[in-house]
Amino acid sequence: YLPIGYWLADQRTATGEQRTVRLTDGTLINLNTHSALDVRFDEKERRIVLQEGEILIETGHNDTRPFIVETRDGHMRALGTRFLVKREDQGTRLSVLQSAVAARPQTLPDEQILKQGQQVMMRADGLGPLLAINPGADAWTRGMLVVDNARLEDLVHELGRYRRGHLGVAPEVADLRITGSFPLHDTDKALSALLPSLPVQIEQHTPYWVTVAKADTKP
């Protein structure tokens, strides 16, 4: 099941697909895997509605209209900047790579300004704590996933966004930690890269049902 907003969006990407689009004001938007957005420009403002997924935005600078990104959780107003917006189950993650962004949750009247190097999880009723951006937050634009001491379950979940079918992890290895760089356009290669570092094995029942499980230590 996919929401109707995804299918009717002005721009969208399929699972595993990435794309860059240039808007009429010169803004560049990178769409990550399985992402969808609508473009709503008028004489007063430039507005992007992120329906699904994740985008990286580099705003055009020769236009005085406000540039706003909207999700179900709130609004983000660019202050001449480069930033990431990602819709997640628990809210919208905003990561500021350059300059600053003013964030306003859906049900609150005031904005909070995030500066370069900061990220926050925005929900409709408020903002979470300001945190430092994760290393390699924009590495996906270069076809890589970069993690530093990440839980294996979180890594596998992220790789699963780039392939069709089920990609799971067994509970007994879910909390193992991993650091490294993994190719997003060849997730089988990325999974194989886990084997030298962790006591795991890849169980592939079909091309569309794969599990990262505990390695078999039997002689």
Question: What does each C-alpha distance from 166 to 71, 83, 145 come to in angstroms?
Answer: 27, 30, 19
Dist CA 130 CA 120 (whole Å): 5
Q: What is the DSSP letter of 65?
A: S
Q: From start to end of 89-193, where are the E strands?
A: 91-98, 100-105, 112-115, 118-123, 126-127, 131-132, 144-151, 166-169, 177-183
Phi, psi for 158 (deg, rounded to 5)? -65, -45
Return phi, psi of residue 98, to 5°: -145, 150
pLDDT band at 1 (very low <50, low <70, confident <90, very high): low
The answer to whether 12 and 54 are in contact (CB under 8 A) is: no
In this structure, what token pair is assigned to residue 175? 């909390």
Query: What is the number of helices (H) and of strands (E) in the chain?
Result: 3, 20
In this structure, which amino acid lies at residue 134?
A: N
Query: Which tokens is 184 given?
Result: 């997003």
Tens of pLDDT, residue by residue over 24-72, are: 999 999 999 999 999 999 999 999 999 999 999 999 988 999 999 999 9
User: Tell me, what's the pLDDT at 8?
Assistant: 84
State residue 2's pLDDT score.
60
Average pLDDT of the segment spanning 68-81: 96
Contacts 24+ apart (CB under 8 A), 6-14: 6/36, 6/51, 6/52, 9/36, 9/37, 9/38, 9/51, 9/52, 10/37, 10/38, 10/39, 11/36, 11/37, 11/38, 11/39, 12/36, 12/37, 12/51, 12/52, 13/53
Q: pLDDT grade, residue 80 (50/70/90)? A: confident
Q: What is the mean pLDDT of the chain?
A: 94
State the Cα–Cα distance between residues 186 and 16, nearest whole angstrom: 9
Return the H-helix or E-strand segment holding 153: helix 152-160
Banded model confidence at residue 5, pLDDT cuts 50, 70, 90: confident
- Residue 186's Cβ-side half-sphere holds a number of Cα atoms within 13 Å equal to 6
